[in-house]
A and B are shown apart, each in its own frame.
Chain A
Amino acid sequence: MIIGFVGTYLIVPLYSMYDFSTKPFGFQDKGRTFRAWKIIPGQPDLIAAISRSLITAAIVMALILFLIVPTAIWVHLKLPALRRPFELLCLLPLAIPAIVIVVGIAPLYRWISIHLTESPITLSGVYSMLILPYTYRSLSAALDAVDIHTLAEAARTLGADTRRVIFGIIMPTIKTGIVNGSFIAIALVLGEYTISNILNYKTFQVVIAQIGRTNGNVAVAVSLASILFVLVLLLLIPTKKRRSAVLDVDLV
């Protein structure tokens, strides 16, 4: 009964989205129509926004792989004294709501977009900090599960240089942790609205909201499509290991 009640609460809006998006609009159609769905690919703004969001996500991905993960490994390996400060730094974004980060970053962002470049790089930088707690959580779990010190020393004895140790030896070992962390990170980046909206950067979510003001059916169709897309993606990815990461929302 509980499942029924809560399930209804969760499912009815989703069904309503389907219902709403197939409502006739304009005066041409009667009954059900998939026109709102059909014109999705013909929205240049939307396509541009999706690619912009994907580029941002890709840069965030790169930052995770080449900055955050190596630093986490480095701190674990070489600087045990910095572990505690590093951890605190990584958890800091939890205490700072996104809207507050925007307030703090706005002057810098304005300066960068006037003097340097108005590229997604700045936004990716902010995002990579926002997702730190999540990434850190899965990384530190993965690093704790493996004896990376022995691994690293064995690799050094066999003649690997430091770069090889980090990128060639340790990172493949904690692959699951990295994938888990990145998965959550990407989901967050693609769903982010607060920061990009206030900084006036037209990401996926911002453009959906804009479309929603002029054409509700299309916006609802796009929203439902992306929810279903991610849902299917989640169900397709082998669950055993990934599940625990998605469940691991308790952070502090």
Chain B
Amino acid sequence: MTQLQYKGTGSANGRTGSRYWRGKSAYLGVVPFLLVSGLFLLYPTWNVASGAFQDKHGKFSTSVLKEVFNSKVARHAFANSLEISAKTAIAGAILGGLFAWALVNGKPGGYFYRVAVALSSVLAQFGGVMLTFAFLATFGFNGLVANIALKVAPHSFLADSSWLYGKFGISVLYTFFQIPLMVLVFLPTLENLKPQWREASDALGGKAHEYWVRIGIPILTPSFAGAALLLFVNSFSAYATAATLINLSDFLTPLEIATALTSETGGANPAEAKSLSFFMVVVVIIAMTFYALLRKRVSRWEQRR
């Protein structure tokens, strides 16, 4: 939470401010916002947090939590979720990072750069349903690549589109929106690498690899790791893509939550959904804490815009 510190020009006199602006009645001004956020943000959060610690009759208990924790299905889904998120975060971070690096070394502000950035921001947002269709059109039954593969190499895995619906397929899909997100997150960092550092290193007799080993990589590592954590959270929370692609209800934790919440065949179990959600939030909070710590390191040298 570092870069949100108030370094603004206004804060010096803002903290003291004029008497005129103070007074208890000022607190009334935030009441409408508190009402809305209380209803749509704090209440659901509280509902999940407290619901995770209740049994089916509303009494305090950790029985459902324990049950979920020990359930084989839930563990399997959780492991799948963690594995896919970690893999796609790393793959997305590396590919997206390289892409961003290539963009920065190209002509910033050029036409290709603009299109690439715009395309990245569209694709990073338009995950979910549309992404699924894009991949079905590519690798799915009768898709472009699948059809080519059928002709060229009928025995390769591409010719049979069933791989798309497994762990590997989901990972490929997720990587597709991780890359543009990585480009968006990492581009500012790369643009902040000052050419003067490179020049200084060169002037002092440093070789190219020495610049990277001693300056470039150490400086970029925290941002890179932070971005990768962001990607991890991004795919860990993702629901839409997997939900439109497969209907396997307990393949990933978000899918399992949705099933526990909405199942119409008697399987609906809000308590289970809340417990599962609770575990998800715990993971996200851990990841975000690391992210905040990394950002703190980064903001030491990075000039905030």
Contact = CB atoms under 8 A, between A and B. Distances in A.
Interface of A: 2-3, 5-7, 9-10, 12-17, 19-21, 23, 63, 67-68, 70-71, 74-80, 82-83, 86-87, 89, 91-108, 125-126, 128-129, 132, 137, 140-141, 143-150, 152-153, 156, 187-188, 191, 193-194, 197-198, 205, 208-209, 212, 216, 219-220, 223-224, 226-227, 230-231, 234-235, 239, 243-244, 246-250, 252
A238 to B, nearest CB: 11
B14 A80 contact: yes
A3 B102 contact: yes
Contacts of A19: 137, 144
Contacts of A86: 30
A10 B14 CA distance: 47
A89 B37 contact: yes
Contacts of A96: 44-45, 281, 284
Contacts of B124: 249
A226 B126 CA distance: 9
Contacts of B240: 193-194, 197, 205
Q: B interface, how many residues as a size bin?
A: 35 or more
A2 B40 CA distance: 44
B22 interface: yes
A191 B127 contact: yes
A3 B141 CA distance: 28
Interface in B229-282: 230, 233, 236-237, 239-240, 243-244, 254, 257-258, 261-262, 270, 273-274, 277, 280-281
Given A93-B41, A129-B40, A227-B122, A143 B8 contact: yes
B244 A106 contact: no
A140 B191 CA distance: 22
B130 to A, nearest CB: 4
Contacts of B236: 97
Nearest to A100: B277
7 closest Cβ pairs, A-B complex:
A104-B44, A144-B8, A97-B237, A20-B137, A193-B240, A16-B138, A223-B130
Contacts of A197: 240, 243
B121 A234 contact: yes
Nearest to A194: B239
Given A97-B236, A97-B239, A106-B270, 11 more contacts: A20-B144, A67-B33, A79-B29, A99-B254, A129-B37, A129-B40, A146-B9, A193-B128, A194-B243, A205-B130, A226-B126
Given A128-B36, A193-B128, A2 B98 contact: yes
Contact of B274 (A6, A13, A79, A103): A103
B138 A231 contact: no
A76 B130 contact: no
7 contacts: A14-B134, A95-B288, A150-B10, A193-B243, A197-B240, A212-B129, A223-B134
